[in-house]
Structure 1
């Protein structure tokens, strides 16, 4: 599962690139009650511009910054914690991935790198220093799950298996087969994400990592998102994992909601 502990080779951070960070901060404040403040001191980097930390009840849940180019699409980026960022980037490149931005130190907080996997989905690496990542995860209004949309599930399995040691486990749903990302097949609590094969009828038609945020009330959260200017791609439905929905924010960044089913 996604955790606040400094566990290597698991999702450890998440941030949003926005054409208007202040407007995005206002959107997510209305939807999830997140507060925002500028990252202090070492966390600033002149190449990145101002970077905001988003928090819930005083615990950081994600980051928010401006887009590096007007050509970029606003989306959430998943960061995987790694013990050796250069080695991980080199392995990714050798497996058909691309290093879009090589490792860069962010003061004493750690180092980041921006990559694209072998199927075309963007993600990032984080080698922790003083900052290890999430202060809140798998709680209401924080990251619960990550999901990869791709046309080539076999290539994705090979890529992430070699880079991070991730494995997959089949999960049956009424709509068809679903692959879960896990570090230990057979142990449900060790699953932290999933993978969907893109089909023509899906609202997402590009290789992409999408975050799921855990919520106490899916329908009420959707209502707040719509009021704030978001869009619903998939209305709330009940599924084995719980009540879920797919949305975009006012700038088109994808995110999903899930109220977990009672255990």
Structure 2
């Protein structure tokens, strides 16, 4: 499962690239009750103090993610999943040797750590975080925080080879009435060690490109969906009961996708 204890080679942070970070923070504050705090950038030029401005999001004192401005005006707003690694340069090298590419090379973030932005061979974007002062998520697998990450891909077998080689991830089949679902895990056979899943893209899905999408755990899927719509978001898949629980697929006002899940009692 996704944890806050600094375990390497697991998702450890998420952030949102937004054309209007303050508007996005207001939206997610309405939906999940998150508060936001702007981090100062000591290296910003005097004539542009907001350059590199970053909002830290939290719930009940635990960090749940961040929001930064899109650096490319033509880019689409989206959530990025960061995998925590012990050696970012070595992981970048492995990514390239496995057929992935580097969108943004290793960059130091003050005394907090190092990040890099990568793309897998099929086109799904993700990022790395090597912690120093900041380990990442302070709240996870609780209501209104990150619960699960899901890869949508045209080629599940290629994804298994790439992420298995890069992070040592394995997959385990989870059988549902709708069919079999591949779960990402570090320890097959131990359900609590699963932290994400993989869906093969089909024509009827709301997601049609290679991408990672976060699931946020909620106490009431329908109520959270209603707040999303009232705040200007949209519904990609209405609230539905499934084996894992009651879930929904949504998008924020700028089109960034996220999913909800109220876990079933047996999960």
Q: TM-score with structure 1 length normalisation?
A: 0.97
- CA displacement at 1:71 relative to structure 2: 1.1
Structure 2 gap ranges (5+)? none
Q: CA deviation at 1:118?
A: 1.3
Residue 117 (1) aligns with residue 123 (2): no
Q: 2:194 aligns with which of 164, 167, 191?
A: 191
Provide, for residues 38-59 of structure 1, a one-character-per-residue CA deviation record: whole Å limited to 9, x for no partner. 12467x7789710000000111
Whole-angstrom CA distance in 2 between matches of 1:7 and 1:188: 17
* Contact 1:45/1:106, CA 8 A, preserved across alignment: no
Equivalent position SS for 1:221:
helix
Q: Which residue is equivalent to 2:19?
A: 19
Query: In structure 2, what is the equivalent of residue 66 of structure 1?
Result: 69
Gaps of 5+ in 1: none
Give the match for residue 127 of structure 1. Answer: 130
Which residue of 2 is the match for residue 6 of structure 1?
Answer: 6
Tell me the distance in 2 between the aligned counterparts of 1:122 and 1:166. 17
Q: Does 1:258 align with 2:261?
A: yes
Partners of 1:146 and 1:59 lie apart in 2 by: 19
CA apart distance, 1:233: 0.5
Please give the residue correspondences for 1:207-222 in structure 2 after superposition, counting only pairs within 5 Å: 207-222=210-225
- 1 CA distance for matches of 2:122 and 2:170? 17
Distance in 2 (alpha carbons) for counterparts of 1:190 and 1:117: 23
Q: 1:39: which partner in 2?
A: 39
Task: Give the match for residue 144 of structure 2.
Answer: 141
Q: Distance in 2 between matches of 1:39 and 1:186?
A: 41
Aligned ranges 1:161-176 → 2 under 5 Å: 161-176=164-179
Quick one: distance in 2 between partners of 1:197 and 1:173? 15
- Paired with 2:117 and 2:54, the residues of 1 have a C-alpha distance of 16
Three-state SS of the structure 2 residue aligned to 1:24 is: helix
Q: Which residue of structure 2 lines up, in the alignment, with residue 201 of structure 1?
A: 204
Are 2:170 and 2:188, in contact at CA under 8 Å, matched by a contact in 1? yes
Moved over 3 A (4+): 44-48
Query: How large is the RMSD of aligned CA atoms in angstroms?
Result: 1.3
Counterparts of 1:185 and 1:40, CA distance in 2:
42
Q: Distance in 2 between matches of 1:72 and 1:90?
A: 26
Aligned to 1:75: 78
Matched, 1:102 2:134: no
Cα deviation digits, residues 102-125 of structure 1 (max 9, x gap): 000001100000000111100000
How far is the alpha carbon of 1:207 from its aligned partner?
0.3
Aligned residues: 262
Distance change (3 Å), C-alpha of 1:188 and 1:237: same
Structure 1 Cα separation of the partners of residues 179 and 232 of structure 2: 32
Please report how far the alpha carbon of residue 6 of structure 1 lies from its aligned counterpart in structure 2 after TM superposition.
Answer: 0.8
